[in-house]
A and B are shown apart, each in its own frame.
Chain A
C-alpha cells in the first residue's frame, strides 16, 4: 500500500513569505502529525490532528498552523517566514485510535533565503 506522501519535496522561499505543505497519510490512517527537523534542534513536534481536530500542539509560534480535511489529508502553513524556519518538515500518520505507531513521509525541505 502507498506510504505517506508529502508535497512539495523541496521549496525555496524568501523571508516574509508564507508556505503551505501538504501530507497525504496512509489510506485508513486518521492521525497526522507534523515535525520540524533541523541539525541544531533535531526532531521537534509541531502538532497532531485526528479526525479534523487538533489534539496536540508543540511549542511553536502562532505562525505555524495546520489543518486536516475530511479525507485525513493534512496541510501545514508557515506565515511570515524567517531564516530559522529552514528545515525538513516531516509528516507522519498513524492508524486507528490506540495504535500510536508513526509512519513518516520523506519530508518537505524548506529553504528560506
Chain B
C-alpha cells in the first residue's frame, strides 16, 4: 500500500488536446482511488474518484479508468484548457480507513 507510482512527472499539451496520467499501486486490497488537483497556493481538491466495483467513471471532460488485475488506474482529461494547468495527484486508500498513499504528482501545463 505504500507505493503508488505516478507518471509522467510533467506533461505539456496544447489547448484542446487530451492528457493522460497513469498510476500503479501495490495493495490488491485497495478499493478506493481518488484524483486531486492542486493549484499554486491551495490545498489539493478532489476532482474525480473511482471505487473498485467499477472500471470507469466519467464527469464531463474528466474520466478515470481502473484495472484491478493490473493494479493501475488512469486520469483522462479531454479538450484541455489553460485552467487545467496544475499539479495532479493520484491516491490509494490503504486497508486502514481514511489513510491514503499519494503518487508523486504530475505537473500539467496546457499551452494556449
Interface residues of A in 11-46 (CB under 8 A from B): 31, 33, 35, 42-45
A101 / chain B contacts, CB cutoff of 8 Å: 34, 46, 49
In angstroms, Cα B89 to Cα A107, docked, is: 16
Tell me the smallest distance from the CB of A52 to a CB of chain B, in Å: 15
Tell me the smallest distance from the CB of B79 to a CB of chain A, in Å: 26
| A33 touching B98, Cβ below 8 Å | yes
Residues of B in contact (CB 8 Å), total 23
Residues of A in contact (CB 8 Å), total 24
In angstroms, Cα B43 to Cα A106, docked, is: 4
| B45 touching A56, Cβ below 8 Å | no
With A42-B103, A102-B34 known as contacts, the answer to whether A31 contacts B98 (CB < 8 A) is: yes
B interface, CB within 8 angstroms of A: 32, 34, 36, 41-46, 49, 89, 91, 93, 96-105
The 6 lowest CB-CB distance pairs between A and B, nearest first, are: A104-B43, A43-B102, A56-B99, A56-B96, A42-B104, A104-B44
